[in-house]
C-alpha cells in the first residue's frame, strides 16, 4: 500500500512536469530560465522548495535527535533572516543584471563582470565540486525513506534510483518551467503533509505536552542548547546561510522572475515558510529520542521516517513518505538543471561552438549532462554512509565562503578579476584542508573552539578579494560601466 | 515614504536583529513556556521578527533601480 502511494505520487509529479511542456517555447532561454516569466507565487514556491532539501527534513530531525532543539537556532531561524536578506540585496540585483544582459548562468555574469574567461572556468569547476555533496544528500534521502517506510523490504538503492529517474525525466522534458511547476506542487505537498505528520505523530504519542514530558524525563539535555552547541559555534554558524548567494540553482531561479515586483511577496513570506517546515522537523527529531533511543551517527537520518512508520496508519504513512520524496526532489531537480545549464552555456557553448550550435542542440547537451551528473551522483550514493546534515554543512560551507565574490561583483567597482580569482582559490584550498581535517570528527570545529571552518574561510576569501584587488590594476572603466548605473550608485552613497 | 534616513535606519535594525539571534540568555534554559521549550520559542519569535523586518525593507527600502523597473513594468 505504502509503495503504491509513493508510485502514484511520483506519477503525479511526472504529470505536472509534463503539463508544463505544453507551454514550452522551444528556445534555450525558455528551457533554461522559463523565458523570465515566473510570477510571485511560483517564485516563492520554487525558491523555498529548492532550498528546503532532505537537509531540512531528514537532516534537521536527525541532527535534533542528537543535539536537541538548538538545531533550530543553529540553522533555521538564522536562515529566516539571512536568506531573504540575500535575496533582497543580491538576488534582486542579479535578476536586473540578468534581464539587462541576457545571462542564463552565474558563470556568464562573473565572466562578463570581470572580463575573464579563465575566472569563469575556475568558478565552474569549484561550483560543480561543491554541488556534488548537496546532490548526494537528495539521492541518499530517497533511498533511506523508501527503505524505512517499507520496513527494510526495499533496499536503499531502489529509492535512490527512483528519485533520480523521475527527476531526470521531468527536468529533461520540461526544463526550468517544468521544474518550477513541479517544485510548487511538491513544496505544497511537503509543507501540508509535514504539518499533518507532526500532528498525527504527536497525537499518537498522547499529545504534545505528554510527549515532551517524556523527553524532559529521559533526555532533558535535548530541550536546551547543551554542551554540543557553544556560543561561538552559534555565532559562526550564521555564516552558513550566506551560501544561497552563490548556489547556482538559486541564481537561476532569481533569473526566472517575471519582474521586480515578483520578489516582494516571496521576501516577506519566506521566513514564515522556514518556521513552518523546521519547527515540526526539529521537534519530531527530539521526540524520536523517546521511541528510538540509542541511534548512533548517520542512523538518525531516518528518525522521521521511523516515527511516521511507528505512529501513522499505513495510508497516511505512504502519503507522508511521499511528502519526504517531495522535499528531496524539489531540490534535486533545480540543482541538476543548473549544472546542465552551466555545462551547456559555460563550457560547450563558450569554448566549442559559441556561434555554431542551434538552440535545439544546446538543450540536447543540457539534458545529456543532467543525465550524466545524476548517474554519477547515484553511483557515489551507493557507497556513501554519511550524516545528511554534515554532508549538507560541508557543501554550504564552500558556497558561503564564496559569498565575497558576488558581493564584490555587485557592489565594489574597484574589485578586479585577480582579486576574485584569489578569493575563489583560497576557498578551494582552505575548504579542502578543513574537509580532510574534520571529515572524520563528529561536530568538528576549528581546534575544538566552537569556531566553524566557514568563518575562517570566509574571512580569508574576503581578505584575498580586497588585498589582491587593491594590489592589481583597476578594471577597465568601460567594462565596469556596463554593470553600475548612476542611479544605483547615488542610492548606494 | 522612501528616504535615505529610513533606509539606513532599517539597515541598522537588520543588523540589530542579527545580533539578537545570538541569544545567550534562554538557550541553556529547559523550562517550557506555552508548552514549548523557551529557547525554541525565542527562535520561533525570531522568525516572525525576520518576516516583519523583510516587510519593512520591501515597503520602505526597496532599491531605486527596482522601483524604476517596476514603473517600466506598469507601463502599457
**Residue A93 with chain B: CB contacts under 8 Å:** 63, 65
Q: Of all residues in chain A, what percent carry a pLDDT higher than 90?
A: 26
What pLDDT, on a 0 to 100 scale, did the predictor assign at position A493?
38
What pLDDT, on a 0 to 100 scale, did the predictor assign at position A102?
85
Task: Determine the average pLDDT of the residues in A417-444.
Answer: 88
Q: Tell me, what's the ipTM? A: 0.93
Q: Where are the domains of chain B?
A: 4-70
Task: Determine the average pLDDT of the residues in B21-28.
Answer: 80
**Residue A237 with chain B: CB contacts under 8 Å:** none
Interface test with B, best of A198, A450, A491, A493 (most B CBs within 10 A): A491
Cβ within 8 Å, pair A81-B40: no
- A299 alpha-carbon distance from chain centroid: 22
What pLDDT, on a 0 to 100 scale, did the predictor assign at position A353?
62
**Residue B37 with chain A: CB contacts under 8 Å:** 69, 212, 223-224
Task: Determine the average pLDDT of the residues in A232-242.
Answer: 88
What pLDDT, on a 0 to 100 scale, did the predictor assign at position A110?
95
Question: Could you tell me the three cell numbers for B63?
Answer: 532599491
Least confident of A250-254, A355-359, B32-36: A355-359
What pLDDT, on a 0 to 100 scale, did the predictor assign at position A198?
86
Task: Determine the average pLDDT of the residues in A413-431.
Answer: 95
- pLDDT digits 0-9 by tens, A451-487: 889 999 999 999 999 999 999 999 988 888 888 875 4
Q: Is A229's pLDDT higher than 80?
A: no
Is A414 or A36 the better-scoring residue by pLDDT? A414
- pLDDT digits 0-9 by tens, A349-396: 787 665 666 767 777 777 787 788 888 888 887 876 666 666 777 888
**pLDDT tier at A50 (50, 70, 90 boundaries)?**
confident
Is A472 or A51 the better-scoring residue by pLDDT? A472
Please give the CATH superfamily to which domain A2-413 belongs.
Sodium/glucose cotransporter (1.20.1730.10)
Please name the residue of chain B whose CA is at the shortest distance from the CA of residue A258. B73
What pLDDT, on a 0 to 100 scale, did the predictor assign at position A59?
77
Q: Of A25-39, A88-102, A182-196, where does the model show the most confidence?
A: A88-102
Q: Of A107-121, A318-332, A431-445, where does the model show the most confidence?
A: A107-121
- pLDDT digits 0-9 by tens, A271-300: 999 999 899 989 999 999 888 888 887 778
- Choose among B14, B24, B53: nearest Cβ to A231: B24
Q: Is A20's pLDDT higher than 80?
A: no
Cβ within 8 Å, pair A73-B18: no
What pLDDT, on a 0 to 100 scale, did the predictor assign at position A29?
64
How many residue pairs from chains A and B have C-beta atoms closer than 8 A?
Answer: 133
What pLDDT, on a 0 to 100 scale, did the predictor assign at position A28?
61
Q: Average pLDDT over chain A, rounded to whole? A: 83
Least confident of A2-11, A86-95, A255-264: A2-11
Amino acid at each position: 500500500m505504502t509503495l503504491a502511494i509513493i508510485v502514484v505520487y511520483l506519477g503525479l509529479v511526472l504529470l505536472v512536469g509534463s503539463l508544463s511542456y505544453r507551454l514550452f517555447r522551444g528556445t534555450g532561454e525558455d528551457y533554461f530560465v522559463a523565458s523570465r516569466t515566473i510570477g510571485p507565487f511560483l517564485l516563492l514556491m520554487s525558491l523555498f522548495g529548492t532550498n528546503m532539501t532532505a537537509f531540512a527534513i531528514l537532516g534537521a530531525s536527525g541532527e535534533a535527535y542528537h543535539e536537541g532543539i538548538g538545531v533550530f537556532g543553529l540553522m533555521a531561524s538564522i536562515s529566516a533572516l539571512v536568506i531573504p536578506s540575500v535575496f533582497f540585496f543580491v538576488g534582486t540585483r542579479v535578476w536586473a543584471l540578468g534581464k539587462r544582459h541576457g545571462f542564463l548562468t552565474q558563470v556568464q555574469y562573473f565572466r562578463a563582470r570581470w572580463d575573464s574567461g579563465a575566472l569563469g572556468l575556475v568558478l565552474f569547476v569549484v561550483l560543480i565540486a561543491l554541488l556534488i555533496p548537496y546532490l548526494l544528500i537528495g539521492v541518499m534521502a530517497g533511498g533511506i525513506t523508501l527503505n524505512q517506510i517499507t520496513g527494510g523490504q526495499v533496499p536503499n538503492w531502489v529509492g535512490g534510483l527512483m528519485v533520480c529517474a523521475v527527476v531526470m525525466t521531468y527536468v529533461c522534458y520540461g526544463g526550468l518551467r517544468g521544474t518550477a511547476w513541479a517544485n510548487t506542487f511538491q513544496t505544497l505537498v511537503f509543507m501540508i503533509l509535514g504539518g499533518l505528520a507532526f500532528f498525527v505523530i504527536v497525537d499518537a504519542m498522547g499529545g504534545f505536552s505528554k510527549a515532551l514530558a517524556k523527553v524532559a524525563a529521559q533526555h532533558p539535555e535535548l530541550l536546551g542548547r547543551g554542551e554540543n552547541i557553544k556560543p561561538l559555534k552559534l555565532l559562526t554558524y550564521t555564516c552558513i546561510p550566506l551560501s544561497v548567494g552563490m548556489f547556482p540553482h538559486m541564481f537561476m531561479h532569481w533569473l526566472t522572475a517575471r519582474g521586480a515586483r515578483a520578489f516582494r511577496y516571496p521576501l516577506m513570506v519566506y521566513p514564515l515558510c522556514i518556521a513552518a517546515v523546521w519547527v515540526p522537523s526539529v521537534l519530531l527529531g527530539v521526540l524520536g529520542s523517546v521511541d528510538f533511543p540509542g541511534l548512533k551517527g548517520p542512523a538518525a537520518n531516518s528518525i522521521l521516517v521511523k516515527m511516521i512508520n511507528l505512529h501513522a496508519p499505513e495510508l497516511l504513512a505512504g502519503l507522508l513518505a511521499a511528502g519526504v520524496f517531495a522535499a528531496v526532489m524539489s531540490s534535486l531537480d533545480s540543482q541538476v538543471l543548473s549544472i546542465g545549464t552551466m555545462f551547456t552555456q559555460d563550457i560547450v557553448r563558450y569554448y566549442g561552438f559559441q556561434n555554431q550550435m542551434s538552440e535545439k542542440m544546446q538543450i540536447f547537451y543540457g539534458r545529456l549532462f543532467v543525465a550524466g551528473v545524476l548517474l554519477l551522483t547515484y553511483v557515489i550514493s551507493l557507497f556513501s554512509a554519511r550524516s545528511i546534515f554534515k554532508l549538507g554543512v560541508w557543501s554550504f560551507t564552500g558556497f558561503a565562503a564564496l559569498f565575497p565574490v558576488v558581493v564584490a561583483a555587485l557592489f565594489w567597482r574597484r574589485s578586479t578579476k585577480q582579486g576574485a580569482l584569489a578569493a575563489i582559490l583560497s576557498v578551494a584550498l582552505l575548504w579542502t584542508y578543513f574537509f580532510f581535517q574534520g571529515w572524520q570528527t563528529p561536530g568538528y570545529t576549528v581546534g575544538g573552539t566552537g569556531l566553524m571552518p566557514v568563518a575562517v574561510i570566509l574571512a580569508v576569501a574576503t581578505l584575498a578579494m580586497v588585498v589582491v584587488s587593491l594590489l592589481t590594476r583597476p578594471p577597465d572603466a568601460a567594462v565596469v560601466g556596463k554593470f553600475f548605473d548612476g542611479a544605483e550608485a547615488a542610492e548606494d552613497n | 515614504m522612501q528616504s535615505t534616513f529610513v533606509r539606513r535606519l532599517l539597515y541598522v535594525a537588520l543588523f540589530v536583529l542579527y545580533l539578537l539571534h545570538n541569544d545567550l540568555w534562554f538557550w541553556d534554559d529547559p523550562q517550557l513556556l506555552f508548552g514549548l521549550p523557551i529557547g525554541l520559542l525565542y527562535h520561533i519569535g525570531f522568525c516572525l521578527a525576520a518576516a516583519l523586518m523583510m516587510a519593512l525593507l520591501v515597503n520602505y527600502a526597496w532599491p531605486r533601480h527596482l522601483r524604476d523597473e517596476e514603473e517600466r513594468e506598469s507601463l502599457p
